[in-house]
């Protein structure tokens, strides 16, 4: 039993993963040069990483 009192059969009965793929709407796209610089031609998918790296 888990801490909430629910009984489960372990990970063998659980799904490996759940997927979600949003529908891609075609709108404006980047030029080839801007797409190479951003890593995508779709502005909606341009999500730059602003976090910190592990190395200094």
pLDDT at 6: 63
Encode pLDDT of 46-55 as tens digits.
988 887 766 6
pLDDT of residue 10: 72
Which two structure tokens, joined as six digits, stand for 17? 């993963």
Per-domain residue ranges of the chain:
16-45
* d(C-alpha 10, C-alpha 2), whole Å: 10
Q: What is the pLDDT of residues 7-33, one digit of tens each?
A: 666 777 778 888 888 787 788 999 999
CA distances from 39 to 2, 19, 28 (A): 44, 23, 15
Full-model pTM: 0.46
- The answer to whether 25 touches 37, Cβ cutoff 8 Å, is no
Higher pLDDT, 49 or 1: 49
Under 8 Å between Cβ of 36 and 49: no
């Amino acid at each position: 039993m888990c801490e909430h009192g629910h009984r489960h059969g372990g990970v063998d009965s659980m799904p490996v993963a759940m997927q979600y793929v949003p529908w891609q709407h075609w709108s404006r796209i980047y030029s080839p040069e801007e797409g190479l610089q951003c890593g995508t031609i779709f502005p909606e998918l341009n999500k730059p990483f602003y976090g910190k790296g592990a190395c200094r």
